[in-house]
Structure 1
């Protein structure tokens, strides 16, 4: 069976499994739709959290960006991993004890304000749609190459799959689908990593192979990469171009943004008790660490393989994988000196994806309608393909390539489903039930949630078809928005009794507006000015969420001390959720027997 048929088989089987689980786990109430009836086992919740967490950015793009930028890409590893620890250990158990359905629900009740709830809903929508753009783009990339369809068609197919199991199953269906998706994606990530680690270093454990010598050489993997990079005119792989302050601010934005991501926080609302929430956090950290400790090795191996394969090679002699990815629109070559060889040197890539024509050049290459590179560089490589193309570059068996395709789709779809659920629940529960239509029945609320999810799928698809940047960068923006809006409100809501509704609302608005405006200006309005000398304090748009967070904290604290303190019952409630309970028994603020949130007002 050839690789293409294996790909259809693996992808088709995984989709059939997801749909089967969604049908079997169909939500029948808002409690099941929003938080899976709060009956998910810690291990299952840990795997589902891992799948929710390890999005297309982690599976597809993180290793790709590390592969291209070297040391600078470490900000994603440090920020996302550190942020998860912060969320799991310091925030999630307290939020679970509070016992609400959504993050806006917590904000609205904690700050005794419908305005605070509405502002939180707006923040959720901004963050989630920014994040989901990267996921849908990842779906399109995988489909475009492996199923040989246009990227936009791939996005639409992904929309159809997500629509089915997110709208039908809600959190209950998504949870058990994500358990299956975690198994698919971690197997798909590790199998080629083990193969390639053996080929390059002789060590079957990628994490150890990363620090080993290259087979047949006395140089380590990183020394080999530094040498190859310098020969082609690039900076050393282990060098970085970002300033120390920008590295710090990006890492911090990713870290605290993680602690404010609503689709990850809501996962801890699905366990039966606070103790189970803590257990599931530990399991999730273990499951996530398997991929995150492997990513630097995969990035380095992919870079070595790419440089060895394409540098100064004749176009006609390149292996089949190059033309496959070229046809998908994710690799392009412009023979500037007409020598028939690929010159891969430092050069500024074209903004956005190359615009292909139906014509072929004199060498048989796929022509583009505009220059894809500046300076002497002739090669355009989309960063998002490195993990996906790595097995083909290394000439691994067809079944491994097919497995990676299924894993990439699992990563993108799992997070997309979680984000779409958060959007739909925020609209149906927090906006409609808690604000505009408080008298609607449980059945009507469930219908509204499904309708909101359907609309969100369509909007997410449009973001995937017209993405603002490569996947990891888009996700970084989402984390920055979360850092600037939710994190201070959640942190002070748990640990600072004096914080009132005026302070929290003011801080969220200032943080979100500042961060969003900064990103939009430098990435969309005036991208030509996006250089360190023009940035505020030398901080890039990817790291500006940290400044937004500091503004949020500052404004919140000043405003809260200029206005009245929260009511005594709110201060008592804050004190109560921080007091540990024995035996996993929860406070009266958590849930009633039917899984509905108990009112604190």
Structure 2
């Protein structure tokens, strides 16, 4: 059976499962819609949290960014997993004890201010909309590959599917759907990695295959062979790439860590368990489930780029016969060219694919001697690496179909969680909490579903023109979470001194400073009179990469909150007692 048919069957069956679960677990009350009734077992919640967390960035883009960045791409692995430790220790149990539906509701009550709640909603919307752009892009990429359509049409198909099961089931339906999606994801990610590792290194576990020797050359390590292959093409050794530098790698890692701990759609998952102690257990289980996928990503990255390079370059560099003829290219290249994410240009008219680093002076000099006119793969999007990986390695079609289903599951699971966070903030925090406090539960539930549909439409529109590939876009969302919500949650739990004026000022300073820096240097807006191009390091403030600026925004948030709180009225006594009560353990938890 051909790949497209198998992919359609695999994805179609998973959609039947998702929609059946949504119908079976249809939310009948606001509590079920917002927090699944508060009765989810910690193991089930840990699995659902892992699926909610392992987004298109994790499944589709993370291995791709590691493949092209080298070891500095490990910042994403360290930051995203380290953030869960912070969340489990510093936030989850205390927020669960507070017993509210949403993060803005906690902030509004803790800082005794509807204004603080409204500002928290603004922060949440900015974070969630930026984050969901990456998910919608992942949905579009996966569907465009399966259906052989442009990415724009693939994105529209994905929007319709997520609208059906997210709007219908709410948190209750999303939770059980995400458990099914996790199972699909982990199989889809691990199975091809195991096959490829066995083929290349005779080692079943990809984590060990990454450091193993080649099956056909037992005296050569996989990474050594990969280094040599890329050096021959002028790209530099895979294991020794300059990347972003230690300074920016540290800032990016820390920004991802505290951004993870401040993500509202993940935090709300800890409101769905019966007891406070279950919140901490859920975070522990989630880390285990996440590790099953994250520890495989570096192996997939290295093996995919190794197989790809050897597919394009079949012999010594410079030998005309070693370059793959374009008319003999594998079928997977033809499919990805149809999506626009892979573009070939025959610059010297020889009908063969020249793939090399045309920014390396030494390589350019050699290429001139060989009659090459530049790298002819003028576009190779990072986000296609994982989805194309089984075909690059010539695995059976059913494996590639499984990966396609997994990629869609990853994007949809996180998109659903984000959209629920958006709809909850609009219906519960804005309508019921501020503008319409007497709204009926039925009307509130209707408002939540309508706001989710609007959010899907906005996210889909923005997903058509993202400021980068999926992992980069997600990193920007983490920067916003790090600079706005994480500091105010930490101060709300551990500091009685911070008052409403300090919290509001801190959130606004953190959010605005980070948004301005990110949007300016990612090219979302341009200051007249400046000549600095987006993503040009020479114009960055103190050399700070926009993806890591969330740390600076968080520091500004903390500093502003403490200064303003010291200059205004102290926190009321009853709020100080509330803070103490949240931190004091109870006998039955």
**How far apart in 2 are the matches of 1:305 and 1:489?**
46
**How far apart in 1 are the matches of 2:373 and 2:175?**
49
1:424–1:453 contact (8 Å) kept in structure 2: yes
Structure 1 counterpart of 2:290, from 288, 302, 306: 288
**1:243 positional shift:** 2.1
2:230 alignment partner in structure 1: 229
The C-alpha deviation readout for 1:210-265, integer Å capped at 9, x for no partner, is 11112222222221221111110012112223122111111111111001100000
1:355 alignment partner in structure 2: none
Task: Check if 1:144 corresponds to 2:141.
Answer: no
Task: Check if 1:297 corresponds to 2:315.
Answer: no
TM, length-normalised to structure 1: 0.91
Structure 1 unaligned residues grouped into runs of 5+:
349-373, 585-601
1:599 alignment partner in structure 2: none
1:324 alignment partner in structure 2: 335
8-17 or 143-152, which moves further after superposition? 143-152
**How far apart in 1 are the matches of 2:280 and 2:447?**
32
**How far apart in 1 are the matches of 2:135 and 2:85?**
23
251-260 or 334-343, which moves further after superposition? 334-343
Runs of 4+ in structure 1 over 4 Å off: none
Task: Check if 1:167 corresponds to 2:167.
Answer: yes
2:281 alignment partner in structure 1: 279
**How far apart in 1 are the matches of 2:6 and 2:453?**
31
**1:74 positional shift:** 1.0
The C-alpha deviation readout for 1:511-561, integer Å capped at 9, x for no partner, is 100110111111123572532221111111111111111111111111111
Task: Check if 1:530 corresponds to 2:535.
Answer: yes
Secondary structure of 1:332's aligned partner: strand
**How far apart in 2 are the matches of 1:206 and 1:375?**
38
336-345 or 13-22, which moves further after superposition? 336-345
2:484 alignment partner in structure 1: 485
Is the alpha carbon distance of 1:347 and 1:46 closer, same or farther for their aligned partners in structure 2, counting shifts above 3 Å? Answer: farther
2:363 alignment partner in structure 1: none
1:376 alignment partner in structure 2: 374
**How far apart in 1 are the matches of 2:47 and 2:407?**
16
**1:5 positional shift:** 1.6
**1:375 positional shift:** 8.0
Task: Check if 1:13 corresponds to 2:24.
Answer: no
1:309 alignment partner in structure 2: 311
2:348–2:373 contact (8 Å) kept in structure 1: no
**How far apart in 1 are the matches of 2:469 and 2:354?**
23
**1:150 positional shift:** 2.2
**How far apart in 2 are the matches of 1:112 and 1:235?**
56
1:558 alignment partner in structure 2: 563
23-32 or 154-163, which moves further after superposition? 154-163
Secondary structure of 2:437's aligned partner: coil
TM, length-normalised to structure 2: 0.93
Secondary structure of 1:582's aligned partner: coil
**How far apart in 2 are the matches of 1:467 and 1:242?**
21
**1:461 positional shift:** 1.1
**How far apart in 2 are the matches of 1:255 and 1:339?**
49
The C-alpha deviation readout for 1:257-289, integer Å capped at 9, x for no partner, is 001100000000000011111111111110000
2:529 alignment partner in structure 1: none
1:420–1:456 contact (8 Å) kept in structure 2: yes
Task: Check if 1:242 corresponds to 2:244.
Answer: yes
**1:347 positional shift:** 4.5
2:517 alignment partner in structure 1: 518
Secondary structure of 2:547's aligned partner: coil
The C-alpha deviation readout for 1:185-209, integer Å capped at 9, x for no partner, is 1110000010011011110001111
Secondary structure of 1:122's aligned partner: helix
Aligned residues: 560
1:89–1:281 contact (8 Å) kept in structure 2: no
Is the alpha carbon distance of 1:425 and 1:375 closer, same or farther for their aligned partners in structure 2, counting shifts above 3 Å? Answer: farther
**How far apart in 1 are the matches of 2:78 and 2:212?**
22
**How far apart in 1 are the matches of 2:167 and 2:142?**
23
The C-alpha deviation readout for 1:143-171, integer Å capped at 9, x for no partner, is 11112222111111111111111111100
Task: Check if 1:3 corresponds to 2:3.
Answer: yes
**How far apart in 1 are the matches of 2:28 and 2:36?**
10
1:71–1:240 contact (8 Å) kept in structure 2: no
